[in-house]
């Protein structure tokens, strides 16, 4: 028995466990062992070196969920990946509440090394962050037991783009077909925060989140990312800016071409943040990390113009941003 083993693979079929173990160790340099004897598993866990366990749910002597409970009694920091023969929704829900890092159907066993790598990273992150002060998100009602078990903290906030636009956000300012037109247009800024959670977060969080709590999460994330935005930006709830401009159909076109139409468009600009949201289970001590994207609207809009020519060709020109101050 290797007392320095980091990853344990447990299946009542020892040959299968050894195959899964070799799959992991071939891909990554983790110290990995396979077991079918549950008492030996608990003995190895007591050595204190184990970081991740891969557990088959359907075992005759004890199912994977019950074994995980015993493992967590010894070391609540250990992460686990649940292996299932079929997609049993009840097993998956139990695993999520208990604090499994992930689950995997055996038919997709090639994905196991990647699942173990994520769980291993979660273990290392949770150990490091135990000693760090974190920002707590109070998005759950402590009077309800099923939500009291969990608390959410912000692991990190990274500003990755100061000029992000959603493709579906483009709106037409003017479709010019006459030779010249003067028009007044109002650019408007309204305070807004969008939260885009990945599939993994949505599937897991939906098991414990009520719909009303999602609004609370969004509001608090808004406050978190706002603190990372340049203080020079004005962030009042609503601002408008009116611009009167004369648009000319043949201005700025390619030499030798005749424009037949120009479409002027604008699009709200956001600051894009990558946020690591960490779910901590007060009951079992497990930590699950969810990457999410947060978009904070700023008082600027991006502009562009589509030019359509008489010969049937067209092109798009980015015309910069407009500040709504």
Domain holding 32: CATH number?
3.40.50.2300
Mention every residue, 6+ apart, whose C-beta is less than 8 A from residue 303. 173, 264, 265, 266, 267, 318, 319, 320, 321, 322
Q: Are residues 123 and 180 in the same domain?
A: no
Q: Are residues 253 and 107 in the same domain?
A: no
* pLDDT value of residue 188: 83
Pairing of strands 79-84, 52-56: parallel
Give residue 265's pLDDT band: very low, low, confident or very high (50, 70, 90): very high
Quick check: is 139 in a domain?
A: no
3-state secondary structure of 175: strand
- DSSP state, residue 253: P
Q: Are residues 116 and 173 in the same domain?
A: no
- DSSP state, residue 111: G
- DSSP state, residue 228: T
- Write the secondary structure of 98-134 as one string of H (helix), E (strand) and C (coil): HCCCEEEEHHHHHHHHHHHHHHHHHHHHHHHHCCCCC
Give residue 97's pLDDT band: very low, low, confident or very high (50, 70, 90): low
- Sign for the pseudo-dihedral over CA of 186, 192, 197, 202: negative
Quick check: is 189 in a domain?
A: yes
Q: Are residues 115 and 169 in the same domain?
A: no
Quick check: is 1 in a domain?
A: no
pLDDT at 68 over 90: no
Q: How many CB atoms lie under 10 A from the CB of residue 23?
A: 18
Name residue 296's beta-bridge partners: 193, 271
* pLDDT value of residue 76: 79
CA distances from 161 to 51, 270, 273, 297 (A): 35, 8, 7, 12
Quick check: is 74 in a domain?
A: yes
| Distance, CA of 318 to CA of 174 (rounded, Å) | 15
Give residue 145's pLDDT band: very low, low, confident or very high (50, 70, 90): very low
Tell me the chain's radius of gyration from C-alpha atoms.
27
- Sign for the pseudo-dihedral over CA of 222, 223, 224, 226: positive
Task: Give the residue numbers spanning the domain of 56.
Answer: 7-129
Last residue of a domain, one of 73, 100, 129: 129
Q: Are residues 122 and 213 in the same domain?
A: no
Q: Are residues 107 and 13 in the same domain?
A: yes
pLDDT tens-digit profile of 216-247? 666 777 777 776 665 444 455 677 888 888 99
* pLDDT value of residue 49: 78
pLDDT tens-digit profile of 279-298? 666 556 666 666 778 888 88
Highest-scoring range by mean pLDDT, 45-54, 88-97, 149-158 = 45-54
Q: Are residues 85 and 198 in the same domain?
A: no
């Amino acid at each position: 028995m290797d007392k320095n083993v980091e990853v344990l693979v447990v299946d009542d079929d020892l040959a299968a466990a050894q195959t899964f173990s070799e799959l992991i160790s071939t891909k990554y340099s983790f110290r990995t062992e396979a077991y079918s004897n549950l008492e030996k598993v608990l003995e190895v866990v007591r050595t204190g070196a184990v970081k991740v366990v891969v557990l088959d749910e359907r075992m005759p002597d004890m199912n994977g969920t019950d074994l995980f409970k015993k493992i967590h009694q010894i070391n609540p920091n250990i992460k686990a990946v649940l292996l299932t023969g079929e997609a049993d929704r009840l097993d998956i829900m139990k695993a999520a509440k208990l604090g499994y890092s992930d689950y995997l159907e055996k038919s997709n066993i090639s994905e196991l090394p990647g699942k173990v790598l994520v769980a291993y990273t979660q273990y290392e992150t949770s150990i490091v962050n135990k000693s760090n002060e974190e920002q707590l998100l109070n998005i759950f009602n402590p009077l309800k037991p099923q939500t009291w078990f969990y608390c959410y903290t912000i692991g990190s906030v990274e500003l990755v783009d100061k000029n992000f636009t959603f493709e579906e956000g483009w709106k037409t300012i003017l479709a010019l077909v006459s030779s010249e037109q003067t028009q007044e247009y109002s650019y408007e800024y309204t305070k807004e925060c969008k939260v885009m959670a990945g599939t993994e977060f949505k599937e897991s969080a939906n098991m414990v989140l009520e719909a009303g709590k999602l609004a609370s999460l969004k509001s608090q994330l808004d406050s978190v990312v706002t603190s990372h935005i340049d203080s020079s930006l004005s962030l009042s709830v609503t601002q408008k800016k009116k611009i009167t401009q004369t648009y000319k159909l043949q201005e700025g076109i390619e030499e030798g071409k005749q424009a037949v139409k120009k479409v002027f468009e604008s699009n709200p600009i956001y600051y894009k943040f990558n946020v690591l949201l960490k779910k901590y289970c007060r009951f079992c001590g497990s930590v699950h990390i969810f990457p999410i994207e947060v978009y904070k609207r700023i008082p600027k809009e991006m502009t562009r113009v589509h030019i359509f020519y008489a010969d049937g060709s067209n092109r798009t020109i980015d015309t910069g941003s407009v500040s709504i101050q």
